[in-house]
Structure 1
Amino acid sequence: MLGHHVRRSPSACAVLDRRTGGSLTYGELWQRAGALAADLADRGVRPGSLVAVAAGPSIDLVVALTGVLRAGAAYVPLDPHAPAARVATILRDCGDPPVVVGGGAAGRLPAGHPVLPVPDGPAADDLDLPPADDDEAVAYVSFTSGSTGKPKGVLVPHRAIARLVVSPNYCTVAPGDRVAGMANPAFDATTFELWGALTAGATVVVLPTPAELPVEQWLGLVADTGVDTMFLTTSMFHTIARERPDAFAGLGTLVVGGEQLDLELTRRVLDAGPPGRLVNGYGPTETTTFATAYHCTRESLRDRAKVPIGFALQRTELHVLDDDLSPVAPGEQGELCVGGPGVALGYLGRPELTASKFVADPRTGQTLYRTGDIVRETADGALELLGRRDRQVKLRGFRIELEEIEHAAVATRLAGHVFVEKVGDGAQATLVGFALPAPGVVPADLPGLLRDRLTERLPGYMIPGRWVVLDVVPLGPTGKADRTAMLAAISPQRTAGNPAGLDLVGAVVAEVLGGVEVAATDNFLDLGGNSILAVQVASRLGARLAATVDPAELLLAETMAEFAATLPGTAVRTA
């Protein structure tokens, strides 16, 4: 599909990087990818091999992924922000493959690991290296968090990418369009951003994320580049929509996904100046980015209590099943199981886990992926997401779906976002709620108001014993709500002499410095930090705190505790 546009329009712009000012035409991309494919072949890479890629959103990333596929291999995108220990685990699971490195991203790789730079020019010989023509061949391996704490590699075949981007029923991308490229490469939104653009003859525009710039500056950059198609995580969409509900009016298509979309914020955007098409996308990595989509309009949301996840993507089958994999009655809740060419092949080196999640439909024998998500079909056939099977907890003998509490709390309209977690074990176990006050609600009053209202809706054992009032929803590296940061605010290690935000500072510094242990009395420079690493720490903290963090404060502070005290806002405060 990419080769078609290379032959038809070799001088058309394939990638434009607004970070560096660089660009590549389709012809140049194909040539540089061919050079990399030749280098990989010289290193012994063959069809079916795995090749890791360490690069952030950039021209180098696009060249690297294209080059690996031109070699007939499968790419393994590494999270540029992942701790070194996690990177090492992923590489071991993949059999220690070579790593293609772009943009100086080799710092987190194990010492001595084989690396290849991204070529900055074409191959010496004009090699004809066609991409793999086996639709069942693995195109990439995407590592996601596992319930055991060990990441699991999802094997995504070429046919699954084609299902996502060929003749999509949820958006339209055409030659001349510009698609934003911002996603963390380890997040499968990259599949939509890059291959959705390049297989359509459009341009990938590499941009900073909204977390890296003030909102107004970021919006100006988007407008200047002429981007018309974009993906945002739900949390990032919510953050921008609160500040500027008219921010997306210049876009042709905005796809939002990752978490439950806030109904009232969505309506505000639709009223203030919506994009040409606002799509709520849903899908686990195992179903290749999206399995369902819902076109949000004033009319489609008029009588809704929540934003649905919608209807099946093209060439995708959806089944709402009970525990025995039998269909439930219309309107009843059940587990969403997905079939069709978008379903992955399974997990790398995890046959038992694969067998438990990728199952045969007892009626047809077709492979279905069990999402673990509980849904129900509404009167018009759209699906609503109700919660997850694996977030069911047991407390004092009662089984509790945490999402049920979250939905009930949001329904009070006292809080815009609510997250509930079980904390502790045995007799010390309790439910803790984290809530962002709705406009007009006094933060100090929110815990009592929620307790009173939830008493009317839920049994006593489902009402959180403690509430933490959020100033902002802290975000993780992929833009999703960071529950770990929320829980850090109630860590028993926090004392009056331990400034709010210190746990988060320690966690982020440890990530950037490769997993070192960080204490409150440690000095950043003594730990191996420098000015460049300080910028990385400040950027990640700024994203999680939804604020601007000055890296100079980290370099000047004598200790981590002193730096934490300078943060422009506390991510959470207890009440």
Structure 2
Amino acid sequence: MNPLDDFSPPLSLANKWLSQDSGEASIASRSLAAVFEPLCFVCNQYQVSLETLCLATWGWLQQQYSGETEVTIAVQQGSVTCGLLLSMPTTADQTIASWLQHIQRQWAQAGDENVCQQQGQENDLALCHSLLTFEPLTVKHCAELKAYCQLEQQQLTLQITSSMGLFNGDQLNSMMQAWYQLLAGIAAQDWRSPTDFCLAQWSNLATPIVHKSLNESLLASMTVAAQQNSVALYYNGEAMRYCELLSLVAAQQACLMAHGLQQGDKVGLYLHRGPEMVGCMLACLFSGIAFVPLEPQFPKQRLATIAKEARLNCVWSTTELASCIDFVCPVIPLAPTERVNADATAQGSEMAPDVALTLAEDTLAYMMFTSGSTGKPKGVMINHHALNTFLAAANERLQLDQDTVWLLITTMAFDISMLEIFAPLLAGATLVIANSEENTDPLAICRYLEAPAAQQPIINVLQATPAFWRMLLQVGWRGSAQLTALCGGEALDATLATKLLSRTATLWNCYGPTEATVWSMMREVSHGIDLKIGHSLAGYSHQVLDVNDNPVAMNMVGELCIQGAALSDGYWQRDSLNKEKFVVLAATGGRYYRTGDKVRRLGSDSFQYLGRFDDQVKLRGFRIELGEIEAQLKRLKRVNNAVVKLQGQASEACLVAYIETSGGQPIPRLMIRKELAKWLPKYMLPSKFVFLAQLPKTGSGKIDRKQLNLNLV
């Protein structure tokens, strides 16, 4: 059997690199005369050939440029061309010498077996990432990327040729420079193991931001706005001024104290959208009490699970809402708040909140529960200093002021709502709140955006996911010349960006995980449709690391890691996960969060997003652990096994569940959705179901997710 039959067609490097080439072939070459003798010495010492050294290092580079854990290289020498599957060591146990000797044996074995003869098997070679040849090229059109290595006058000369315009000259020169740098480092014996290979310098650590505490900053801005009798909130056609909001916060604080709540406690907020919700959040922050959002639209069982998992001291809710769920903790009823006289409060007769200004920086501000791979939501802990760092940096980047009018549409259970709620208050601006019936309705949001000034303040800032922006466009939103648009939560595509740029004043491409407190990068999109992510916020820094925690060089692929004061304290009661995701790297001494996002490093603070290393996905802005959905599917009777995939692009994207049942007999889809809806929110429910007698397996017995597609239906 041809070993190449087991190879999965690789994802082309060209599809993962920003290139604007014209389609002509590009060439880069480099003489190794300066390091030829040291290379020969090392090869003799390690008992391998120069060709083996070139093959091994070229394979390593292909992994770095593609982000794949394994690469297939077609190697031509003499009359035989063979395909090799190369993978890098992930531990320091294997020395460079033993690694090279292993590859040399693997190459010799493949050549002896004549894996791919030139005659009639060029199509098999198309499965390989690249072709490496030590002879004049005789195999044509067998690989998208061709790499030549030739010995001329006993001086090793490297040449990389890219046909069909897959890479431009600058990109190939970058590859060549990295190849040379790697070979020179091996010649100088700079590294003991392949896991030590490092062609880049560590970036600088994030610079801490010196500013007031979060409570102090909020109180100062809200007090100034109150003295100016400014409008803080606009809800259901009514305005609430800052003086009224401060009085509301004071009343809600008194409620907390009356029920014995104190600093360090955790309170679940099970509330509908409105001024009371914002007031409760502020009351918790000012009192040093952490709030945990409980979205009323989520399934009751999920909310009860979150309340139990978080070990809440109480849940703050209305009598009507709280009666629907049997919480394991006490429920504080939120009584209807009487509106105070705005004129009287403006003259100084309002109640003032009791603000704790000397809280420790690590005091928990909120806990946001996200999808968990074990089937149970996991809580992300964000402290006051992290939230303060992010908000100060975001306000600086967006240059918010008292003229800002921000429309709040995001559910408070999605962490980007923290920016929508608190950023305007920090600027003394106005927050317009879409109610619970309107916030997900694109037609209702269009009415907000197009309402005349006589009805409400003119909206000039809106944050939404790409999916919601598309919904707005689909219902005929014509745009607003004064609108600042923030887009994040999932990848922004060029088509959507073009449409938004023509309808808004400014478009920001935002990136960041919940674990780094909302956004860590915010980049303004130009009319050239440059969709790279980057431009780190103050207090953050980003590093792209390979599998061995070494920084990658320019144009290489790795995992994006975030460092800075805005990082989460970790996951609530998840010690093993914290050790895996929040790491202190010895090389810098900095604490990093491993995002699991695959990116290409394009510059010192510029990255190309390529997807996920794990099975976590984003759909309509919501981060989803596919394992959580799979765990709930496996609870159902007659389900032997289940796999969930995100399939389709942009507005066509949907969750597809592949379910293994006895004999492949289907289960009523309505019944499955009904059972899943008891535990999962709507955005996590699969749209399509495929029933199989057996899920496809790999040679090692694992489920082969690559073979699962809708064509199986």
Return the match for 1:12 from 226, 230, 242. 230
Alpha-carbon distance in structure 1 between the residues aligned to 2:365 and 2:599: 30
* Corresponding position of 1:234: 466
Task: Note if contact 2:306-2:377 (Cα within 8 Å) is conserved in structure 1.
Answer: yes
User: How many Å apart are 1:380 and its aligned residue?
Assistant: 7.7
* Corresponding position of 1:373: 597
Residues 79-118 of structure 1 aligned to structure 2 (within 5 Å): 79-102=295-318, 104-110=320-326, 113-118=329-334
Task: Note if contact 1:5-1:26 (Cα within 8 Å) is conserved in structure 2.
Answer: no
Pairing 1:487–2:657 present: yes
Pairing 1:314–2:542 present: no
User: How many Å apart are 1:327 and its aligned residue?
Assistant: 0.6
Task: Note if contact 2:273-2:436 (Cα within 8 Å) is conserved in structure 1.
Answer: no
Residues 123-138 of structure 1 aligned to structure 2 (within 5 Å): 128-131=354-357, 133-138=359-364
* Corresponding position of 2:571: 347
Residues 539-554 of structure 1 aligned to structure 2 (within 5 Å): none
Alpha-carbon distance in structure 1 between the residues aligned to 2:256 and 2:505: 42
Task: Note if contact 2:300-2:325 (Cα within 8 Å) is conserved in structure 1.
Answer: yes
Once the two structures are superposed, residues 393-447 of structure 1 have per-residue CA deviations (whole angstroms, 9 ceiling, x without a partner) of xxxxxxxxx99xx9xxxxxxxxxxxxx999999x9999978436x9xxxxxxxxx
Pairing 1:164–2:390 present: yes
Return the match for 1:506 from 674, 683, 689. 674
Alpha-carbon distance in structure 1 between the residues aligned to 2:659 and 2:472: 24
Deviation larger for 192-201 or 82-91 = 82-91
Pairing 1:334–2:334 present: no
The amino acid that maps onto 1:157 is N
Alpha-carbon distance in structure 2 between the residues aligned to 1:335 and 1:324: 10
* Corresponding position of 1:284: 513
* Corresponding position of 2:10: none
Task: Note if contact 1:54-1:80 (Cα within 8 Å) is conserved in structure 2.
Answer: yes
Deviation larger for 132-141 or 113-122 = 113-122
Alpha-carbon distance in structure 2 between the residues aligned to 1:249 and 1:125: 39
Task: Note if contact 2:443-2:472 (Cα within 8 Å) is conserved in structure 1.
Answer: no
Alpha-carbon distance in structure 2 between the residues aligned to 1:141 and 1:66: 15
Secondary structure of 2:223's counterpart equals helix
Alpha-carbon distance in structure 2 between the residues aligned to 1:428 and 1:109: 31
Task: Note if contact 2:386-2:568 (Cα within 8 Å) is conserved in structure 1.
Answer: yes
Task: Note if contact 1:252-1:275 (Cα within 8 Å) is conserved in structure 2.
Answer: yes
Secondary structure of 1:281's counterpart equals strand
* Corresponding position of 1:395: none
Task: Note if contact 1:338-1:369 (Cα within 8 Å) is conserved in structure 2.
Answer: yes
Residues 6-155 of structure 1 aligned to structure 2 (within 5 Å): 6-10=222-226, 11-18=229-236, 21-102=237-318, 104-110=320-326, 113-118=329-334, 120-121=337-338, 128-131=354-357, 133-155=359-381
Structure-2 change in CA distance of 1:70 and 1:502 (3 Å): same
User: How many Å apart are 1:338 and its aligned residue?
Assistant: 0.4
Alpha-carbon distance in structure 2 between the residues aligned to 1:333 and 1:373: 10
* Corresponding position of 2:402: 175
Task: Note if contact 2:232-2:431 (Cα within 8 Å) is conserved in structure 1.
Answer: yes
TM-score after normalising by structure 2: 0.55
Secondary structure of 1:260's counterpart equals coil
User: How many Å apart are 1:489 and its aligned residue?
Assistant: 11
Return the match for 1:195 from 412, 422, 428. 422
Structure-2 change in CA distance of 1:42 and 1:379 (3 Å): closer
Task: Note if contact 1:242-1:265 (Cα within 8 Å) is conserved in structure 2.
Answer: no
* Corresponding position of 1:363: 587
* Corresponding position of 1:247: 478
Task: Note if contact 2:253-2:353 (Cα within 8 Å) is conserved in structure 1.
Answer: no
Task: Note if contact 1:47-1:132 (Cα within 8 Å) is conserved in structure 2.
Answer: no
Structure-2 change in CA distance of 1:380 and 1:2 (3 Å): closer
The amino acid that maps onto 1:97 is N
Residues 200-239 of structure 1 aligned to structure 2 (within 5 Å): 200-208=427-435, 215-224=442-451, 225=456, 226-239=458-471
Structure-2 change in CA distance of 1:378 and 1:91 (3 Å): same
Alpha-carbon distance in structure 2 between the residues aligned to 1:433 and 1:329: 31
Structure-2 change in CA distance of 1:300 and 1:381 (3 Å): farther
The amino acid that maps onto 2:314 is P
Task: Note if contact 1:61-1:102 (Cα within 8 Å) is conserved in structure 2.
Answer: no
Return the match for 1:388 from 590, 593, 612. 612
The amino acid that maps onto 2:419 is F
Instruction: Report the count of equivalent residues.
Output: 440
Once the two structures are superposed, residues 317-372 of structure 1 have per-residue CA deviations (whole angstroms, 9 ceiling, x without a partner) of 00001122211111110111101111111111222211211111222212111111
The gaps in structure 2 that reach 5 residues or longer are: 1-216, 341-348, 620-625, 635-639, 688-709
Residues 428-507 of structure 1 aligned to structure 2 (within 5 Å): 434-435=647-648, 473=652, 483=655, 486-487=656-657, 502=670, 506=674
User: How many Å apart are 1:44 and its aligned residue?
Assistant: 2.1
User: How many Å apart are 1:220 and its aligned residue?
Assistant: 2.2
Task: Note if contact 1:333-1:376 (Cα within 8 Å) is conserved in structure 2.
Answer: yes
The amino acid that maps onto 2:361 is D
Greater relative CO, 1 or 2 (CA 8 Å, sep 6+): 2
Alpha-carbon distance in structure 2 between the residues aligned to 1:288 and 1:351: 20
The amino acid that maps onto 1:239 is M
Alpha-carbon distance in structure 2 between the residues aligned to 1:127 and 1:210: 31
Structure-2 change in CA distance of 1:285 and 1:24 (3 Å): same
Alpha-carbon distance in structure 1 between the residues aligned to 2:365 and 2:552: 35
* Corresponding position of 2:495: 264
Task: Note if contact 2:253-2:283 (Cα within 8 Å) is conserved in structure 1.
Answer: yes
Once the two structures are superposed, residues 496-539 of structure 1 have per-residue CA deviations (whole angstroms, 9 ceiling, x without a partner) of xx6xx84686368x45xx89xxxxxxxxxxxxxxxxxxxxx9xx
* Corresponding position of 2:218: 2
Alpha-carbon distance in structure 1 between the residues aligned to 2:469 and 2:659: 24
The gaps in structure 1 that reach 5 residues or longer are: 302-306, 393-401, 407-419, 439-471, 474-480, 516-536, 546-571
Once the two structures are superposed, residues 422-473 of structure 1 have per-residue CA deviations (whole angstroms, 9 ceiling, x without a partner) of 9999x9999978436x9xxxxxxxxxxxxxxxxxxxxxxxxxxxxxxxxx64
The amino acid that maps onto 2:608 is E
Once the two structures are superposed, residues 16-38 of structure 1 have per-residue CA deviations (whole angstroms, 9 ceiling, x without a partner) of 113xx343221221222122222
